[in-house]
Chain A
């Protein structure tokens, strides 16, 4: 079994404990943070394990190159402190068994883009932006064969990820590809952050979707018609695993002539869409999710946004109805770029 590579010495030597002190959902001072991290490292119970909303953000906050969130998720599983009720976890775990559906290995021409489990959105991968791009899964029902499984961090089931991820990587590798464009931040984070953190080899180069979009837009620069829109970006939890790619959001917006409105909940201060939180065991989780959604959308409106731009399909599913009811237009980043190049 793969094991999390976590440098305890680095963590215990950390003077800021940003992982916990910067948490948006727990109010923790530096001394408490140090105490609780020590407990977590030692495999002891900590209130952090009970209160964590699984927003992934501590992975970004940590300046020591460690993996505090992966460690929290592991300890939650080891100590039997699942953030979500057991039956809900069971349903999710049963949903995405990779061997469900037949895997068809067919020759695919690079560049190759993985839709993860969101094959139903493959319709938006068309037009000049995606000329010559091959898509995995080739058929919607194959989706689970390429599903990165990282979602199970929300359920403290790292054992499921470790068990299934090698097979997913094998399924992708069987297509003889050297690079894989990841439609979803979550896949990119899986291959570039989680897999190395637990010692799983990734024999292809993951490409962040926004990086692909940016490079392609540069190639098509002459075709771009500035959209002159004001937009707000809904940063997903899994973007916390690849903060070094976040600049592409603004880079893309600049290229296609949209203004990213100045608002409170951006960058490190971005808010969770609420989907993972709503059904959690903690008292008040449902209300917290509603509150986050209201604050987040109101912040977009107050800043003058016309569109809410998404990367994560689940953020989109969770927020798009509320966003629309609030007078904003929900749109995927890829679709926004397609609007710009025609």
Chain B
């Protein structure tokens, strides 16, 4: 037993640390196309104190530390590029507090989406959080840390906009609190303290989130889904503008695909309408259907498609398995997507150019774009399926991902949760003074460069 293993075992207990090859193998890759890299140790702390001790140990030995939530970013963000310690946070799975009146929840970093959904359904059925279309094991903290978005993104923005407070173990092992929790026992707001937005979007390179407070929102009793379809991609931005203008839809996303023959050549704008009564539902549906989109229906350019209950159920199940289902469109179960935060008006070009990339790499097209913040932007997901057992298929998908990263920037967008390739592209483009500030922040917080090295490398 080496000394690092022994020290880690002393911190978390021997059963929660491993350097067994078969376990290192599991932690060496994620589900996307990123090349695997093997860690040296896996450690699963239970407490914030244990995280601090591990980070202090890593600092002494200048050992890389890679924080891991559900491991479902698909962009390789928790693949240990330089080996070292993978810090698996799943044991930190306590839902600490739900404040029903102030509508927020405080959770430990390992609490999963599925866990929180079922907890709220059981104990606080009138509350919900913005649920990403990720499998249940994806973590709340992981999603927030990558500026994730969920099914309340349309009215309320990114999930990282819904953070009320953070507890973070700094790369030095010190503990830091951000938000009202730094001056009060109540984790109810991030404001009005000085802005310290140092930990979201950094891919775990500036610290380890151990606790966070997340805003909750009203959970309506009825959740309906409607789908409006058009042939002309050019119509999609204005249709979304009109729907979002009504403020009657909770979640809106548009997409096109070639995986389901019936949907080929069409653009589907899917919207969720929620209500506490049939009367409320009818009012909201009428505003969208009759007032906002009536003219397209009458002139025949677009229409609502009938969704029978079994199909509707697939759209309304929680956690949503829709994306997971289409992810296996090609045999072999491989799936990665490039997320691009794009201006609304780029939708037609995003579709066209995405189709060209798919065609070049023999991959069926699957594009989904979620509206964020009442059309302030769209989160595009250019999804590429591949066969995990076929190296050529993986290579094609990886190239498609890289080409899409280039496309996002070319069209004036920003790459969401970029992998290493995308991070480099972003750094080549980023304003030099901004890059310098990022370098200063990173250098100040992580003087030994131990936090998830390989990511934001130039920084």
Contact = CB atoms under 8 A, between A and B. Distances in A.
B297 A85 contact: yes
Contacts of B302: 85, 87
Contacts of A95: 261-262
A275 B306 contact: yes
B294 interface: yes
Interface stretch (A122-130, A209-217, A278-286): A278-286
A339 interface: no
Interface in B192-244: 229-231
B61 interface: no
A145 interface: no
B266 interface: yes
Interface string A279-301: 10111011100100000000000
Interface in A10-63: none
B185 interface: no
B300 A279 contact: no
B309 A84 contact: no
Interface in A54-104: 82, 84-88, 90-92, 94-95, 97, 100
A88 to B, nearest CB: 4
B6 to A, nearest CB: 57
B261 A100 contact: yes
Contacts of B304: 88, 278-279, 286
A250 interface: no
B432 interface: no
A78 to B, nearest CB: 16
A286 B266 contact: no
A94 B264 CA distance: 8
B301 A86 contact: yes
B300 A82 contact: yes
Contact of A321 (B282, B290, B296, B309): B309
A279 B285 CA distance: 13
Given A85-B301, A279-B303, A97 B261 contact: yes
A320 interface: yes
B263 interface: yes
A317 interface: yes
Interface string B283-316: 0011001100010111111111110111000000
A318 interface: yes
A86 B266 contact: no
Given A85-B303, A275-B306, A281 B263 contact: no
Most chain B beta carbons < 10 A, residue from A97, A282, A317: A317
A320 B309 contact: yes
B281 to A, nearest CB: 11
Interface string B343-373: 0000000000000000000000000000000
Contact residues on B (Cβ < 8 Å of other chain), bracket: 20 to 34
B265 interface: yes
Contact of B306 (A100, A279, A282, A283): A279
A279 B231 contact: no
Contacts of A92: 262
B292 to A, nearest CB: 13
Contacts of A86: 231, 300-301, 303
Nearest to A282: B298
Interface string A116-159: 00000000000000000000000000000000000000000000
A75 B448 CA distance: 77
A279 B261 contact: no
A87 to B, nearest CB: 4
Contact of A87 (B266, B282, B309): B266
Nearest to B265: A90
A86 B296 CA distance: 10
Most chain B beta carbons < 10 A, residue from A86, A278, A318: A86
Contact of A91 (B229, B309, B310): B229
A317 B308 contact: yes
B294 A283 contact: yes
A241 B294 CA distance: 32
Contact of A281 (B266, B297, B309): B297
Contact of A90 (B266, B286, B294, B296): B266
B265 A88 contact: no
Contact of B303 (A88, A287, A290, A321): A88
Contacts of A87: 229-231, 266, 301-303
B309 A88 contact: no
Contacts of A285: 297
B308 A283 contact: no
A97 B302 CA distance: 22
A234 B231 CA distance: 35
B289 A286 contact: yes
B442 to A, nearest CB: 49
B35 to A, nearest CB: 38
A90 B263 CA distance: 9
Most chain A beta carbons < 10 A, residue from B296, B299, B306: B306
A122 to B, nearest CB: 15
Contacts of B299: 281
Contact of A85 (B262, B264, B282, B296): B296
A320 B306 CA distance: 15
Most chain B beta carbons < 10 A, residue from A87, A100, A290, A320: A87
Contacts of B296: 85
Nearest to A320: B309
Contact of B298 (A90, A283, A287, A317): A283
Contact of A94 (B261, B300, B306, B308): B261
Nearest to A284: B290
Interface in A174-191: none
B231 to A, nearest CB: 5
Contacts of A90: 231, 265-266
Most chain B beta carbons < 10 A, residue from A88, A90, A281, A290: A88
Nearest to A313: B308
A158 B129 CA distance: 48
B290 A279 contact: no
A178 to B, nearest CB: 34
A82 B298 CA distance: 11
Most chain A beta carbons < 10 A, residue from B261, B262, B309, B310: B262
Given A85-B303, A90-B266, A286 B290 contact: yes
A85 B303 CA distance: 5
Nearest to B285: A286
Given A86-B300, A87-B266, 8 more contacts: A85-B296, A87-B303, A90-B265, A278-B306, A281-B300, A281-B303, A290-B282, A321-B309
In the A-B complex, the 3 residue pairs with the smallest Cβ-Cβ separation, listed nearest first, are A85-B303, A95-B262, A88-B303
26 contacts: A82-B300, A84-B303, A85-B300, A85-B301, A85-B302, A87-B229, A87-B230, A87-B231, A87-B266, A90-B266, A91-B262, A91-B263, A91-B305, A94-B261, A94-B265, A97-B261, A279-B297, A279-B305, A281-B297, A281-B298, A285-B297, A286-B290, A317-B308, A317-B309, A320-B309, A321-B309
Interface of A: 82, 84-88, 90-92, 94-95, 97, 100, 275, 278-279, 281-283, 285-287, 290, 314, 317-318, 320-321
